[in-house]
Homo-oligomer: A and B are copies of this chain.
Amino acid sequence: MEISVLRNVLDANDVIAKENRKAFDAHGCFVVNLMSAPGSGKTTLLERTLRALDGRLKAGVIEGDVQGSLDADRLARLGVPVAQINTDPHFGGECHLDARMVWHALPAIELDGLDLVFIENVGNLVCPAEFWVGEDRKVMMSSVAEGEDKPLKYPLMFRVSDLLLLNKVDLLGRSDFDLARFRANAARVNPALGIIELSARTGQGLEAWIEWLAREVETVRLS
C-alpha cells in the first residue's frame, strides 16, 4: 500500500520534472541539482564557482530552503539571476525540493542566455535523493567534518549522484577523518562515483570542479 502511494507521488513528480526539463532544454541550460547535509558548504562553493565561471559560462541559481533567503541573498550579490523557493510555508515545510516547487520557481528566473543552472537543494542527505526535479546531473557534497561513514549511512544519496564533491579538505589532519576509508565506503555504495576533493573556503581543488562543469555542459550540448 505504502509502496504504491510512494510510486504515485514519484510518478506525478516526474511528469512535472519533464516539463521543467523542456523549459531548460528550450533555453539550452545545463542543470545541476546540488545536494548535501546542512552546513556542508553548498552556498560557499556556489559563491566561489560563480566567481570562477565569470565570463566562461553564464550561470543562474534556483535556491531551495525551508525558510528565508540568506543563501539567495549571498548569491544575488554576485550579480547572477537567483530564484528562491521556500518549502515553508508554501510547500508544507518539506525537507527536500520536488519538481513542482522548481516549476513554480521557473517564472522567477530568466533562463534565456544561461548556460548553466544550479539548483541548491534543502540541506538533507535523505529525501532530496528521491526526487528528480528536471536536472541533467545530480551532484552531492560531503565534508571532511561529517566523517567517513556517511556513504554507508545515507547510501541512496551516494548511489544516485553523478559526482561527489568532498569539501573542507583544509580540515584534513585537523580531524580524525580517514580519507582512504571514506573513498572505500563511497566505492562500496557506488563504484562508478567520481570524487573531487576541494575546499570551498580556500579554493583548493576548485579548478577540477570548474573543468568538470565545462566538460559536462559541452557533452550535453553535443548530445
**Residues of chain A whose beta carbon lies under 8 Å from any beta carbon of chain B:** 2-3, 6, 37-39, 65-68, 70-71, 88, 92-95, 122-127, 142-143, 145-147, 149-150, 152-156, 168, 171, 174-176, 201
Contacts and interface: CB of A to CB of B under 8 A. Distances in A.
Contacts of A124: 95, 124-126
A66 B123 contact: no
A3 B155 CA distance: 31
Copies assembled:
2
Contacts of A156: 66, 88, 93
A16 B168 CA distance: 41
11 contacts: A2-B92, A37-B38, A38-B153, A38-B154, A66-B126, A67-B153, A70-B152, A70-B153, A95-B126, A143-B145, A171-B174
- For the complex of A and B, list the 5 residue pairs with the smallest distance between their C-beta atoms, beginning with the closest: A39-B146, A145-B145, A95-B126, A37-B38, A38-B125
* A-side interface mostly: loop
Contacts of A66: 126, 153-156
A176 B152 contact: no
Contacts of A155: 66-67
Given A39-B147, A124-B124, 16 more contacts: A37-B37, A37-B39, A37-B123, A38-B146, A39-B146, A66-B156, A67-B152, A93-B156, A95-B124, A122-B126, A124-B125, A145-B145, A171-B171, A171-B175, A174-B174, A175-B201
A12 to B, nearest CB: 14
A67 B159 CA distance: 13
A201 B171 CA distance: 14
A140 B155 CA distance: 24
A149 B65 CA distance: 12
A7 to B, nearest CB: 12
A95 B93 contact: no
A164 to B, nearest CB: 14
A117 B201 CA distance: 39
